[in-house]
């Protein structure tokens, strides 16, 4: 191996390390600001069922912090009559879709199911950018439910993925 190949490998390794360090710093900043929370890196493989007194999907949608989501390039569309809100991430580094839909009523409390529908990486994995954006989205959804009903409960079920 010649000297140029060795220098090239060292530079490439340094650039990759720098990118990873900057991503970790960005994630830490989002967590310290309360925009994201510390989670398992595989949180996106689960369905989250929110059990709440909140009965109006339109109110839930309007309570979700849209300014935080638009900054993360996450947009929503909805059909309240059909009982769903779809979230789309349109970031340059990767995309994902997520769905919040109305579930069954349990003991006079309403349920809503939240899950990520697609992943952009190999074998159903999200890339690092998607994981942070997904964390921001899930945090915004959780905060909306808690704002509407502080007694909201959540169940997590791991889904089979690609």
Give the separation between CA 98 and CA 8, rounded to whole angstroms: 39
The sheet carrying 74-79 orders its strands as 74-79, 84-91, 94-106, 109-116, 46-52, 153-158
The mean-pLDDT minimum among 12-26, 51-65, 114-128, 144-158 falls in 114-128
- Does the pLDDT value for residue 54 go beyond 80? yes
Tell me which CATH code domain 41-158 carries: 3.30.310.80
User: pLDDT tens, 6-48?
Assistant: 888 888 888 877 777 777 777 777 778 888 899 987 888 899 9
Q: What are the boundaries of each domain within the chain?
A: 1-33, 41-158
**pTM above 0.85?**
no
């Amino acid at each position: 191996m010649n000297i140029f190949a060795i220098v090239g490998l060292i530079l490439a390794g340094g650039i990759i390390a720098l990118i990873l360090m900057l991503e970790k710093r960005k994630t830490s900043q989002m967590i310290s600001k309360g925009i994201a929370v510390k989670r398992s890196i595989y949180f996106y493989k689960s369905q989250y069922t929110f059990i709440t007194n909140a009965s109006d999907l339109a109110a839930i949608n309007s309570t979700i912090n849209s300014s935080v989501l638009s900054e993360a390039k996450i947009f929503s569309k909805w059909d309240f009559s059909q009982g769903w809100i779809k979230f789309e991430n349109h970031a340059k580094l990767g995309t994902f879709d997520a769905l919040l839909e109305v579930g069954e009523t349990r003991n006079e409390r309403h349920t809503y199911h939240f899950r990520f529908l697609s992943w952009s990486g190999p074998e159903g994995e999200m890339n690092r950018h998607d994981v942070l954006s997904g964390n921001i989205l899930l945090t915004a959804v959780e905060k909306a439910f808690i704002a509407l009903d502080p007694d909201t409960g959540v169940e997590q079920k791991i889904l089979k993925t690609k």
